């Protein structure tokens, strides 16, 4: 199993690690039994995600996808963010080994969960 250069680059220097104080949305995905948990926090202003951060327990691919998805959502509207799929996260990382594709699903789920949290709070 080999990771792409892009995955390793994000693994070495993950972007947006940490938490947001008083986030507008918090998402959580994964299961520690499977070796992955991702928490994703978003700050939303005028319908646009202005900041995103994460905390992840997981393998190299889980950390790289967390880093990538937080980078991808910044500046996007909620609607645009909901269009981010696990495939686009993996593509942006130059692909993932087949056995690690579930990590990109984890990123998508964490993002959706954060957005849902934001939308439910807004109501």
Catalytic residue list: 34, 103
Shortest separation between residue 62's beta carbon and other proteins, angstroms: 7
Q: Within its chain, how far is the Cα of 75 from the centroid?
A: 14
* Contact set for other proteins, span 47-106 (CB under 8 A): 55-60, 62-63, 99, 102
Q: How many Å apart are CA 104 and CA 1, to the nearest integer?
A: 16
**For residues 112 and 49, is the Cβ–Cβ distance under 8 A?**
no
Instruction: Give the span between the Cα atoms of 41 and 25, in whole angstroms.
Output: 6
Stretch that binds other proteins, among 34-42, 44-52, 80-88, 112-120 (CB under 8 A): 34-42
Can you tell me the distance from the alpha carbon of 115 to that of 82, in angstroms, rounded to the nearest whole number?
A: 8
For residue 37, state whether it binds other proteins (rule: CB under 8 A): yes
Which positions lie near other proteins, rule CB under 8 A? Answer: 1, 8, 11-12, 14, 17, 19, 28, 32-39, 55-60, 62-63, 99, 102
């Amino acid at each position: 199993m080999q990771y792409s250069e892009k995955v390793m680059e994000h693994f070495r220097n993950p972007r947006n690690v940490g938490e947001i104080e008083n986030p507008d949305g918090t998402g959580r995905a994964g299961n520690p039994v499977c070796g992955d948990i991702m928490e994703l926090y978003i700050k939303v202003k005028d319908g646009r995600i202005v900041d995103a951060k994460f905390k992840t327990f997981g393998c190299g691919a889980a950390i790289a996808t967390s880093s990538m998805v937080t980078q991808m959502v910044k500046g996007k509207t909620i609607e645009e963010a909901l269009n981010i799929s696990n495939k686009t996260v993996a593509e942006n990382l130059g692909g993932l080994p087949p056995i690690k594709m579930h990590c990109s699903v984890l990123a998508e789920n964490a993002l959706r969960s954060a957005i849902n949290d934001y939308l439910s709070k807004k109501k």
